[in-house]
Structure 1
């Protein structure tokens, strides 16, 4: 079953193109399918930010990952909507993963702190023209794509798992983009179906593993590690374990992906 699933989603080609960073993004995607449950259990689920220069493969990565859970690829510009419009988008998202583009240099801007409740409670307030605001729960997950890391507060930054696919140490693609770009969405959705059926397994595994990983990270990196970042990384380690079991990922690749998560924690301890 594991080999069939890996073949259906062209996992080996995906790794050949995106490397360990792609595996970490896929692990987040696995958790995002049950983001509302994870927030209920642990009061948080991190945002994913995918950063890369034009032509680095951001759209290819997002389009591939969306096929895994049967979503039609789309982009949504937060900056080109009003706060009320953004609230309506999140409120109506259901359990979908919302992909938001941040246009660098745009004359329009967004107060990123506006998104902070989506990390914890998922609360969204919808205000009608002639009535009081209504509180609605965001049950999806948030991905932000951009050419450069967001210029935002530390409070927002600590809610983000950042994956930069165009850094000097980023993986060099070993296959052509078509190897994963023309992935059949119907075949790829086998991943999403399996993940959807595994909610209790995913949630119970995180409940057991996250506190242990969080303690290990705090012990390793000390008091300078933001507790929110420690929780994000602990969740990512647990999700990586789940993905490794689901797809029988080789130990060397799992360890390499784990090193990338450790880098996120380590960089958090360095003053900006």
Structure 2
């Protein structure tokens, strides 16, 4: 009887793995992951892993005390708009609403942050003194935010449930305090080969209805995603420090990103070569940040 029971358990386990593999294949097809990889490679996958965390940022901040901002940088025609469009569809939106950080008023910023539920995008024109850096810094480490609603001394407190993406030109001078609270995906202007042109066209024409499956699966697996970040982020941070890549809070930022990559891999079943390429990219990214 015991042997039969063990055999049945192995059969159930094998069926479960087969079902997960089929689910991952269907999800990859729905979000055109092959085209996404052809268009953006490892840097794009870094942004996708962060987005999976950004959909659960409030939970991660509550449990780990922090969740990094994402900075997407690149020169003109490097694909920043296309990447944002793709990530917005996976988050269940036709397009992220981008706000110019230098021009947003205090009241508008308060409204944006108070109603956020997922990633919100601020575009940096020149990262000058008009950018509300002091209001953006607390969004890294706390869900409790106090901002001035309008001119005067009235301060209103609310809970920030979203996450922040900053879009900037390559070489933009961002304050050290923001760099230390963020992870950066740098896009290079690619050579437009026929294969990449086809991939870009496929992503541009991808309807939002095809990507709602990603949001649904991410919502269904929310507890598992947060669990992986809780269990592995600290170990990855220690590994980054031990191996000499980075240290301190910056190691934790990129440790969270590595843990989110594991969560993304559970959803999508990345190939070994893709997984190693993205891990290597994250390690190199972690070196270029103050700590």
TM over 0.5: yes
Larger CA Rg, structure 1 vs 2: 2
Shift of 1:127: 3.7
Matched ranges for 1:243-262 at <5 A = 243-262=264-283
TM-score, normalised to structure 2's length? 0.84
Among 156, 178, 181, which residue is 1:134 paired with?
156
Alignment RMSD: 2.2
Match of 1:148 in 2: 170
TM-score (norm: length of structure 1) = 0.90
Structure 2 Cα separation of the partners of residues 164 and 61 of structure 1: 11
Whether the 8 Å CA contact 2:110–2:149 is kept in 1: the answer is no
- Is this contact kept in 1: 2:74–2:170, CA < 8 A? yes
Unpaired segments ≥5 residues, structure 1: none
2:91 is aligned to 69
Structure 1 residue ranges, 4+ long, deviating more than 3 angstroms after superposition: 126-132, 170-174
CA pair 9-122 structure 1, distance change in 2 beyond 3 A: same
Could you tell which deviates more after superposition, 147-156 or 204-213?
147-156
Please list, as runs of the form range in 1=range in 2, the aligned pairs for 1:57-206 lying within 5 A after superposition. Answer: 57-73=79-95, 74-93=97-116, 95-104=117-126, 109-128=130-149, 132-166=154-188, 174-176=195-197, 177-206=200-229
2: distance between equivalents of 1:153 and 1:126? 20
How many residues align? The count is 264
2:78 corresponds to which of 44, 56, 60: 56
Q: Hey, what does 1:23 align to over in structure 2?
A: 45
Stretches of structure 2 that go unaligned for 5 or more consecutive residues are 1-22
- Residues 1:184 and 1:248: Cα distance change in structure 2 (over 3 Å): same
Preserved CA contact (<8 Å) 1:18 1:172: no
**In structure 1, the residue corresponding to 2:102 is in which secondary structure?**
helix
Alpha-carbon distance between aligned partners in 1 of 2:86 and 2:257, rounded to the nearest angstrom: 20
C-alpha deviation, 1:105, in angstroms: 7.8
How many angstroms does 1:213 deviate by? 0.6
Distance 2:147 2:44 in 1: 35
Select the structure with the greater relative contact order (CA < 8 A; seq sep ≥ 6).
1
2:286 aligned with 1:265: yes
Cα shift at 1:115: 0.8
